[in-house]
Chain A
Amino acid sequence: MPTKLVVDCSTGVTTEVELTAEEIAQMEADAAAFAEAEAARLAEEQAKAEAKAAAEAKLAALGLTADEIAALGK
């Protein structure tokens, strides 16, 4: 069973306490929510990278050099 450390500042005593079923369920829900949010973030980053690469390819096709394309992003 996972535990947490609770420090009572009035006594200085540290107690190792087993997590309750509710706390464990919340941790698991948090993990699932994070995994979902992380997947969405990665998908957004990939979409941005792909859009950037496509735009740079179009600019190159118009005759811009790599340095000129890079200068547009500064």
Chain B
Amino acid sequence: MANTYIPIATVTVGSGGAANIEFTSIPQTYTDLLVKASLRDNRTDSPVTDTVITFNSSGSGYSIRMLYGDASFSTPGSATTSGAVYIAGQYQNTNQTTSNTFSNTEIYIPNYTSSNNKSISVDAVTETNGTPIYASIVAGLWANSSVISSIKLAPMYGTLAYVQHSSATLYGIKNS
């Protein structure tokens, strides 16, 4: 049972927006990592976007199993991807949602300094004053023996950007 949550770094997007957020030079002194993010991008043709997660700027070896649904339960489902260039599936807010609302995302990465493949779990939900609201949980794998030294978050669909006040905090967690 983890008994420490140490904030390593926090980033908040400024007025100019940001195409992505990246934590680099992550210290290798913890057991697990946790990212808590509050996200909103500038997409206008949909109320939801996937957050793309990559490690160490790597573009290979990712697999996911995703469960998702919206508040009306009209479109629950699951998806599986293997051999992907990133981990996707966790939902985030867009500019089509109510102004000044942000999605909540929690990314847990156990044993990030291990030489084994890396597992990841993500729990995300969007927010808006109305419907639809989307939720997703993702079990992910990065088939790579490298320690994780950087984590990048980005909106999935190409040229989108995070808007002002989006933020993310990286925590280190020790098991003793």
Q: Which B residues contact A (CB, under 8 angstroms)?
A: 8-11, 13-14, 16-27, 156-159, 161, 170
Contact = CB atoms under 8 A, between A and B. Distances in A.
Given A9-B9, A27-B159, A30-B158, A4 B24 contact: no
Contacts of B161: 2
A31 B10 CA distance: 28
Contacts, number: 66
Given A28-B159, A31-B159, A4 B20 contact: yes
Main secondary structure, interface of B, reads loop
Interface of A: 2-12, 14, 16, 19, 23, 27-32, 34
- Residue from A9, A23, A28, A29 with most neighbouring chain B CB atoms (10 Å): A9
Contacts of B27: 9-10
A27 B158 contact: yes
B25 A16 contact: no
Contacts of A7: 9-11, 21-24, 170
Given A16-B18, A31-B157, A31-B158, A5 B25 contact: no
B128 to A, nearest CB: 21
Contacts of B23: 7, 9
Contacts of A32: 158
A12 B138 CA distance: 29
Given A10-B25, A14-B11, A5 B158 contact: no
A3 B16 contact: yes
